[in-house]
Amino acid sequence: MSKSRRQTTRTETVPAIVNESRESSVLRITAVFTPNPSDRYRSAVIGERLVIGRDPVMGATFVLDDPNLSRCHATLTREAAFYVIRDARSSNGTFVDARRVDYDYIGEGSTIRVGSSLLVIHRGPRKLSDLPPEDPEIIGRSEAIRQVVHQLSQAGPTDQPVLILGESGVGKELAARRIHKTSGRSGELIAVNCANLQRELAESWLFGHAKGSFTGAHEKRIGYFAAAEYGTLFLDEVGTLPLEIQPKLLRVLENHEYYVVGTTRSATANVRIITATNDDLETKVERGEFRRDLLARIDVFAVRIPPLRQRREDILMLAEHFLETALPGHRFVMGLRFAEALLVSRWTDNIRGLRKTMNIVAVMNQDTAVLDLRHCPDALRDEYTERVEGLPVAQPQPAQSAPAFSAPGGDSPSTSPHVVIGRPDLNELVEVLKAASGNLTTVARRYRKDRQQIYRWLKHYQIDSTKYRHHHDEE
Report pLDDT digits (tens) over 229-287: 999 999 999 999 999 999 999 999 999 999 888 778 889 999 999 999 999 999 999 99
Q: How many CB atoms lie within 10 A of CB 89?
A: 13
- Give dist(CA 337, CA 334) in Å, integer: 8
The string of pLDDT tens digits covering residues 29-72 is 999 999 999 999 999 999 999 999 999 999 999 999 999 999 99
Residue 9 has pLDDT above 60, yes or no: no
CATH 3.30.470.20 assigned to 26-129? no
Residue 343 has pLDDT above 90, yes or no: yes
Give the pLDDT confidence score for residue 16 in this predicted structure: 47
* 216 contact partners, CB below 8 Å, separation of at least 6: none
Give how far Cα 44 sits from Cα of 39, 41, 51, 94, Å.
12, 10, 11, 19
Domain 309-389: which topology?
A: Helicase, Ruva Protein; domain 3 (1.10.8)
The architecture that CATH gives domain 143-304 is 3-Layer(aba) Sandwich (3.40)
Beta-ladder partners of 135: 138
User: Which amino acid is residue 445, in one-letter code?
Assistant: R
User: Which amino acid is residue 137, in one-letter code?
Assistant: E
Whole-number percent of the chain with pLDDT over 90: 63
**Span 126-149, average pLDDT:** 86
**Span 395-410, average pLDDT:** 33
Q: How many CA atoms lie within 13 A of 397 on its CB side?
A: 12
Reduce the DSSP state of residue 32 to 3 states and report it: strand
Instruction: Output the pTM of the full model.
Output: 0.77
Give the pLDDT confidence score for residue 24 in this predicted structure: 63
Which secondary structure element, helix H or strand E, spans residue 143, and what is its range? helix 143-155
| Torsion-angle region of 202 (φ positive above 0: left; ψ -120 to 50: alpha; else: beta) | alpha
User: Which amino acid is residue 224, in one-letter code?
Assistant: Y
